[in-house]
Amino acid sequence: MKRRSVWVVVVASVMLLATSQTDLAFAGMNARAAQSNPHSITSGSWAAVAGIDSNVTNADRAGSAYSATLTSICSSTSAITRSTTGSVTGSGKIITLTTAVTGLQVGYLVTGTGIANTYPFGTDPLSSVQRIASFPDGSSGFRIQLSNGTSTTASGTTITFTIAKQLNRVFDSVSGGTNDKKGIETIETTSDLVVGMTVRGNNLSNSGTNTIAAITTANRFVTATGPNTDNNQIIAFSNAPTCTYSSFFTLKNTGDISINSMTITQTGTALSGGNTITWSTCSGTWTEAAGTCSVTPTSILTTTSSSGAQQLTLTLAPGASLRIEAESTPAGASATLAISVSVSTSDLRAATNTNA
């Protein structure tokens, strides 16, 4: 009985071993059949270059970096805080808007075709220019009473409003005693004023370039970069211009093989002083003169002076190009930026085959 038991065990073990070897061999065949191998790249060309537009070629670079100049793109200095929407009708000193304009205050300057004594935007306001006197009740619409003149020809006009205050008196300073005449107190609230706004007045020093340096809300006190002179005058407050320093350029695949990535090296004065250069793309439409995108732009690369060579993941088909904005942060003076682009075989998007 013992010999028979041993024989059965041995036969079972041999059958199990044979089955295991067969399964392993079959699994190995399946693994090899499913394995994908890239084609070896034996022909074709691959390169990407930066240039002024999509017509850039390899010959344009000839091994040299693309030189870009970051220049200032500024929004216009705007004293216009709010504008009307909808129709406007006028009668005497009253103008009626079909749509209310929020945030207006008595004393704001009024500009618009057909408005008597309209405020010439961007000038030093005189005491005779048109201002908001009150907001009278009415049976319909949003009503504004003007300070002087008539508005009978204002129908259909787009009215714009500029923040303005009546200057009460000039102080030496917030703390007093320095006689620098940089402090001014206004009658109206300072709730709509912010540090950095441009101050414009007929008798203000450096009118149009003088700016708010500090605000003391309790005393309605504005410390400007003055000095300032003359009491009892109208002063206008403008939003300071917003400036960016940037340059637009094109990245182009000048080869005949798709690219998945590339190596970017940037140098130049634009990276000095701790500045950061950010590359952005726009899936909508760039308005390059204004430095704006019709949708939210997408940042694809950030560079500092210590970044060195950087890998940029970006897919470009043969002959394809992409418009890019390089912007300096913080904004500074005009500066140069040298952009070098290189592509290696590891950056290529080669086709693959599958073993059957």
- Please indicate, yes or no, if residue 279 is contained in any of the structural domains: yes
Query: What mean pLDDT comes out for the span 321-345?
Result: 86
* Distance, CA of 277 to CA of 227 (rounded, Å): 37
Write the CB contacts of 314 (distance below 8 Å, at least 6 apart in sequence): 251, 259, 260, 261, 262, 300, 322
Read off the pLDDT band of 191 (50, 70, 90): confident
* Distance, CA of 354 to CA of 257 (rounded, Å): 20
Q: Do 271 and 219 fall within a single domain?
A: no
Q: What is the pLDDT of residues 200-218, one digit of tens each?
A: 888 777 788 777 877 777 6
66: which 2 tokens? Answer: 């693309």
3-state SS assignment for residue 81: strand
- Please indicate, yes or no, if residue 289 is contained in any of the structural domains: yes
Distances from the Cα of 52 to the Cα of 60, 61, 68, 336, angstroms: 10, 11, 8, 14
In which domain, by residue range, is 268 found?
48-75+243-354
Q: Do 320 and 252 fall within a single domain?
A: yes
Q: Do 254 and 300 fall within a single domain?
A: yes
Select from 147, 48, 136, 71 the least CA-distant residue to 107.
147
Q: Which residue has the higher pLDDT, 61 or 179?
A: 61
Read off the pLDDT band of 174 (50, 70, 90): very low
**How far is Cα of residue 203 from the mean position of the Cα atoms in its chain?**
36
pLDDT at residue 45 is higher than 50: yes
Number of domains in the chain: 2
**How far is Cα of residue 59 from the mean position of the Cα atoms in its chain?**
33
Read off the pLDDT band of 24 (50, 70, 90): very low
Q: Which of these three, 206, 238, 270, is where a domain ends? A: 238
- Please indicate, yes or no, if residue 150 is contained in any of the structural domains: no
Query: What burial class does residue 122 get, using C-beta atoms within 10 Å of its C-beta: 0-12 exposed, 13-18 middle, 19+ buried?
Result: middle
Query: What mean pLDDT comes out for the span 165-174?
Result: 61
- Please indicate, yes or no, if residue 106 is contained in any of the structural domains: no
Q: Do 232 and 248 fall within a single domain?
A: no
326: which 2 tokens? Answer: 């390089």
Write the CB contacts of 105 (distance below 8 Å, at least 6 apart in sequence): 132, 163, 188, 189, 192
- Please indicate, yes or no, if residue 120 is contained in any of the structural domains: no
Q: Which residue has the higher pLDDT, 325 or 99?
A: 325
- Please indicate, yes or no, if residue 221 is contained in any of the structural domains: yes
Q: What is the pLDDT of residues 219-240, one digit of tens each?
A: 666 766 666 665 667 888 877 5
Q: Which of these three, 211, 238, 265, is where a domain ends? A: 238
- Please indicate, yes or no, if residue 129 is contained in any of the structural domains: no
pLDDT on residue 327: 92
pLDDT at residue 355 is higher than 90: no
Q: Do 257 and 226 fall within a single domain?
A: no
Q: Which of these three, 201, 217, 238, is where a domain ends? A: 238
Q: To the nearest whole percent, how much of the chain has pLDDT over 70?
A: 67
- Looking from the CA of 109 toward its CB, the CA atoms found within 13 Å total 29
pLDDT at residue 187 is higher than 70: no
- Please indicate, yes or no, if residue 102 is contained in any of the structural domains: no
Kindly report the CATH number assigned to the domain that includes residue 267.
2.60.120
Q: Do 253 and 348 fall within a single domain?
A: yes
Q: Do 255 and 325 fall within a single domain?
A: yes
Most confident of 60-64, 155-159, 331-335: 60-64
Q: Do 175 and 218 fall within a single domain?
A: yes
Q: Do 273 and 184 fall within a single domain?
A: no
Q: Do 217 and 173 fall within a single domain?
A: yes
- Looking from the CA of 65 toward its CB, the CA atoms found within 13 Å total 14
